[in-house]
A and B are shown apart, each in its own frame.
Chain A
Amino acid sequence: MLGLGKGAAGKYVSQRTQERVRRVAVILTALLVAVFVSIPVYVMIAIAFQPSVTTFRGGQVNLLFDSFTFDNFILLFTETGTPRYLFNSFVVTASSTLLATALSVAAGYGLTRFEFRGKTMAARAVLFAYMFSPIVLAIPLYVIFFSLNMLDSYFALTLALTGISAPFGIWLMWQYFQTVPVALEESAWIRGASRTRTLWEVVLPVARPGTIATAIFSFSVAWNDFTMARVVMSQNEMYPITVGASLFLDRVTIGWSETMAAAVLMSLPPFAIALFLQNYLLQGFNVGGLE
């Protein structure tokens, strides 16, 4: 039986061929990333940091840097509601991230460590909730917040965003806590630490990568949200930057340059987080089986 190597699953492929295939795959992936991620980011930066006169000189779009300016940003901050929008985004994102993470940690720990009636049902419900598209929840949530007279409030938007991010967070923490050996907790109890103290001093530090991954996920849901903000907020001064920036395009005085400047502003927080917390993010998601 030529060609069937011992222990090989299927047809035998020489080491050399495998290496070649691997290299081609890496190059292809790199090309795809370059075309669909790096180039748009470059275009965004190029347009945002050059005067629009330069960008559109001679009736064409010039994407090579030959001048540099903050004018587009200055215009955003002086002529538009950008500062207010950014502030709204920060408030809502921070509170929703905190709330969703706290909820996920509590629920995930409970699902992992306690047996109760309907546990499997609860776990399924959580995953099912995660399958919903935000727009499915939008109208019902609008009705709820309307009847509670809570529209146009940070609190309502925080709750709505937490509703979207918490199911996945709970699921992630549930998976993560299962990797924390219960013997760590038992050892702390026997040494006299109460259940709460054990949670703070032993379980949470060990589960930190999972918690941070959950927080990052909640952050990105809240920061990038458009749908919920559009539904819950109806006053201009309550809009977050996503909704606010989309309104620029409707105004004659605002062009590509300013829109791209707003896009740069919006990209900064996620970029900073990805940069500083990427290790935690990878560790956290690895456990959830999402390599």
Chain B
Amino acid sequence: MSAQAVAAPHAKIAAPEHRETYLNYDYSWKSWLFTVDHKRIGILYLLTVAFFVAIGGLFAMMIRAELLTPQGDVLESETYNKIFTMHGAVMIFFFLIPGVPGVLGNFVLPLMIGARDVAFPKLNLLSWYIFVVGGLLTLFVAATGGVDTGWTFYAPYSSTYSNTRVAETAIMVFITGFSSILTGLNFLVTVHTMRAPGMTWFRLPLFIWASYATALINVLATPVLAITVLLLALERIFHIGIFDPKVGGDPILFEHMFWFYSHPAVYIMILPAMGVISELVAAFSRKRIFGYSFVAFSSLAIAVLGFLVWGHHMFVSGQSAYAGLVFSVLTVLIAVPTAVKIFNWTATLYQGSVEFATPFLYVLAFFGLFLIGGVTGLFLAAMGLDIHMHDNYFVVAHFHYVMVGGMVTAFFGGLHYWWPKMFGRMYNELTGKLAALIIFVGFNMTFFPQFIVGYMGMPRRYHAYAPEFQVLNVLSSAGAVVLGTGYLLAAVNLIWSLKFGKVVTEKNPWGATGLEWETQTPPIPHNFEVTPRVTQEAYAYHEMYSGKEAHGVH
């Protein structure tokens, strides 16, 4: 979509005067590609991420098409290996990780803390360019033969035996990782130094706490992945091994180093999504968040504990049983801060004046899906049970419930919530609700059967399977079509609104707290006419609505 299509303030607007916004002050392509405005960079991320999601989704559909029948008839087994690898790599590195921070974080984080921009605007643009370079490299890999190791790149298959583009993919991950590191660094510093006067740490919206915790993981974990894949690439290119056991290397070391990043990375994916949910829960129940500081600190607790549980991916790898035990216990512990969030959100809804708007439907979907994903995570954390579940569809279902059911659902909720602020247009509410409903139904249709086939013993990453699993796989593939339709409908509704949606000029269409709702819609280039001064806690709905509605009565 072009800048014009996004921006054009039409004559239909009642107010005739020209209002300068971050979208319309300059329409040239240069003003977009060289922008240092965090809001425009957020839009750039939105476009790129949407592009990669479409590609990743296409791979997913090919997987589900293959799995319609027990025989491997649609794709060769080698092709199938490449398709699921590319599906995983694209979705993780180009959507799940940059999705919420890149798009929503970039757009709202400085607005929420009353800043004119992030601390390092040029670095922010550089992050996007690095991201694009990584993306182009991915497309190159996909177009020239792909890679078949799975997104985990386990050695020595990846380092020695695979005949596919492992080195190029490793370099892609290396490059893309720095985009993530620099965004994290930027957010970290922004939260420390750019807060408006009066915006103390305990007045920060919970999305900021979550983004801050995520940024810590970005900065601390991602470099370890960078060096790991660099060693992998060096091993591939120069045929000198440190991960190949044939010459004394230790493949388990690769797994340790890989998961030292890649487990915290799942919190990079889910924590910002949880931050979005905190915002939406408060906004649509018109109530201050129950247990604000518990929710805030639970983000930090998840970030810290998240560094200590990586070994639960390696229960069957040959690590010591004692290590396994410790990792198992720590993994169970991480359910505590997660449950703190869920309970506090639920308690927030209690006696709130709940409004069932589209973003809120996504919140409810998140509760249901994330709860199932989280609880099945506890099954997998139990070492004994995991030996049965390892590398089967139960695991696949679990992480899709957490990642897609969690992160993607929250992303859509947040996108709908901040959409009028971003573009000054409102999507069609009925279509929005319908899409949320279809996504919820389609999601469960797709992934719930996978818990069952997994428990029955269907392994992941094969293009053929035992015939007795077919019924549930057909259900899953049918669900994927429903799910895809739901996402498409939501996307079409949002894109449609850019041109035909109701124009939103009021600052605060949802009646929500938060500085992002106290500036113009869409915001002016430098966010605020006058630097805001914060005098209240983050979710002062009781103040906002006192005297307007009877409190606690719907």
Whether both chains belong to one complex is answered with: no
Measured CB to CB, the residues of A under 8 A from B are none
